[in-house]
Copies of this chain bind each other. A is one copy, B any other.
Amino acid sequence: MKYKRSLQRERILELLKNTGIHPTANWLYERLKGEFPNLSMGTVYRNLNILDEQGLIKKIDFGSTFDRFDANITPHYHFICEICGSITDLDIPVDSGLEKIVEAKTKFKVNRHRIEFYGICDKCRKKTGMGK
């Protein structure tokens, strides 16, 4: 895919670079519609996806669009296969020391944390011959 310049896209990137608040698409839309009175959400989303594809920004995508549910209510981490989407509970110790580190570095009160590992599960490695 070959991209052409677009003022809207440039301004979206600029706004994103000048803020630390990790905005939503709607925040960007609100900020820009003074500048581009006919701006539409479609344009904002399309450009965000292009910028993400170009590696200029990162979408904090929180996984798939649908919720997953877990009857294992003890703290644990997850592994998510990037091919088949399967989620596996991990049997590694939950490290609350990490929360201490964050509290030492910031003024925040940390209540909990979560870790997700992403990669390729054993089944998909066999199927696709990917991974080593």
Contacts and interface: CB of A to CB of B under 8 A. Distances in A.
Instruction: Please tell me how many copies of the chain the complex holds.
Output: 2
Interface stretch (A2-10, A30-38, A101-109): A101-109
A-side interface size class: 35 or more
Interface string A101-132: 11001111111111111111110010000111
Most buried by B among A101, A115, A130: A115
B106 A25 contact: no
Interface in A45-68: 48, 52, 55-64, 66-68
Nearest to A17: B71
Contact of A111 (B64, B91, B110, B120): B120
B66 A58 contact: no
A68 to B, nearest CB: 4
Contact of A90 (B73, B106, B131): B106
B20 A69 contact: no
Given A71-B56, A79-B108, A120-B111, A66 B24 contact: yes
Interface of A: 13, 16-17, 20-26, 28, 48, 52, 55-64, 66-73, 78-79, 81-82, 86-92, 98-99, 101-102, 105-122, 125, 130-132
